[in-house]
Amino acid sequence: MNGGHDLGGMHGLGPIAPEAEKDEPVFHGTWEKRVFAMTMATGFLRTWNLDESRHARERQHPADYMRNSYYENWLRGLETLLVEKGLVTAEELERGAADPSAGASAVVPLQAGDVETTLLKGGPTDMEIDQHPRFHPGDKVRVVNINPTGHTRLPRYARGKQGVVRNHCGAHVFPDRRALGSREGEHLYRVCFSATELWGEKLNSDFKVHIDLWEPYLAAE
C-alpha cells in the first residue's frame, strides 16, 4: 500500500542527527524493551507472520505512522493484531484486564528456556518451487507500475523504472500474499538501478541502488 512507511525519496524530514555509536543504548526506556519483547514473544505464537506484522504497522494513518516513535508503531501494530486475531478483545485492551467470562487461552506462550533456541532457529523464507526463474543476471527488466492497497515490498520509488538483474536469489516467500496468510514462493532478484533512472538527471553525483524484487514485480524489457 502507498502508506506512510514507504519513505524512499521523500523530502523535508529533517537531519538524521545520529546519536553517537558509543553512547546509544539498545533501548531508550523500559517501555521500549517491553514492547519489543511482547511483539517478539507473541510473534512466536505463530498466530500471524512477519508480513502481517509489518502490514499492521503500515496500515496506520500516515500522519500517525510518521509522528509515532519506532516502538510506538510496534505497539500500535501489536494491538491491531491481538484484536484482529482474537487473542484479546478491544474491550480487554481498553480496560487493561482480562474479561473474566473469557475462557483460558489455548495457546502456549514462549517460555524463557526456549528463547535462545527459538531465536537461533530463525525463520528462513527460501523455498523450492517448480517454476524456473524467468530472469537471469544481466537481464534488463522494468518494474511494474502497480499500486496495491494491501501489503507489498515493492517501494514506490522503483515503480516503472528500468534496472538490470544482478543476482537471482532463489525463490522466497512472496510477501504480498504472505500478508494475507498464505505461504507461496516466487523467484527473488537483486536488481540494480542507476540514480539517474530513479531520480532524473539533476543529480550531484551518480550512484547505484540495489533493490530486492520478486518476479511478479518485474517485466522483461
Partner 1 sequence: MTEHSHDHTEPPSDLVLKVKALESLLVEKGLVDPAALDALIDTYENKVGPRNGAEVVARAWSDPEYRVWLLEDATAAIASMGFVGRQGEHMTAVENTAQVHNLVVCTLCSCYPWTVLGLPPVWYKSAPYRSRAVSDPRGVLAEFGTELADSVEVQVWDSTSEMRYMVVPERPAGTGGWPIDELIPLVSRNAMIGVEKARTPGSSVDP
- For partner 1, the binding residue among 56, 81, 165, 209 (CB under 8 A) is 209
Residues paired with 168 in a beta bridge: 189
- For partner 1, the binding residue among 101, 124, 128, 132 (CB under 8 A) is 124
Q: How far is the CB of 164 from partner 1 (least distance, A)?
A: 13
In the shown chain, the binding pattern of residues 22 to 41 toward partner 1, with x for contact by CB under 8 A and - for none, equals: x-x-xxxxxx-xxxxxx-xx
Q: Distance (Å, rounded) from C-alpha 127 to C-alpha 186?
A: 8
Q: Distance (Å, rounded) from C-alpha 181 to C-alpha 13?
A: 34
- For partner 1, the binding residue among 46, 63, 101, 112 (CB under 8 A) is 112
- Establish if 197 lies at the interface with partner 1 (CB under 8 A): no
- For partner 1, the binding residue among 141, 164, 165, 211 (CB under 8 A) is 211
Residue 155's closest CA among 198, 219, 203?
Answer: 198
| Grid cell of 20 as nine digits | 553517537
| Grid cell of 201 as nine digits | 538527471
Asked whether the beta carbons of 172 and 157 are under 8 A apart, the reply is no
Region 141-180 residues binding partner 1, contact defined as CB under 8 A? 153-155, 157, 169, 172-173, 175
- Establish if 132 lies at the interface with partner 1 (CB under 8 A): no
- Establish if 105 lies at the interface with partner 1 (CB under 8 A): yes
- Sign of the C-alpha dihedral computed for residues 85, 87, 89 and 94 taken in this order: negative
- For partner 1, the binding residue among 17, 101, 130, 132 (CB under 8 A) is 17
In the shown chain, the binding pattern of residues 39 to 68 toward partner 1, with x for contact by CB under 8 A and - for none, equals: -xxx--x--------x--x--------x--
Residue-wise burial string across 29-68, b where 16 or more C-beta atoms lie within 10 A, e elsewhere: eeebeebbeebeebbeeeebbebbbbbbbbbbeeeebeeb
Asked whether the beta carbons of 57 and 65 are under 8 A apart, the reply is yes
- For partner 1, the binding residue among 46, 63, 101, 120 (CB under 8 A) is 120
Q: Distance (Å, rounded) from C-alpha 130 to C-alpha 17?
A: 48
Q: How far is the CB of 130 from partner 1 (least distance, A)?
A: 21
- For partner 1, the binding residue among 2, 8, 145, 160 (CB under 8 A) is 8
Region 64-103 residues binding partner 1, contact defined as CB under 8 A? 66, 70, 72, 75, 78-79, 82, 87-88, 92-93, 96-98, 102
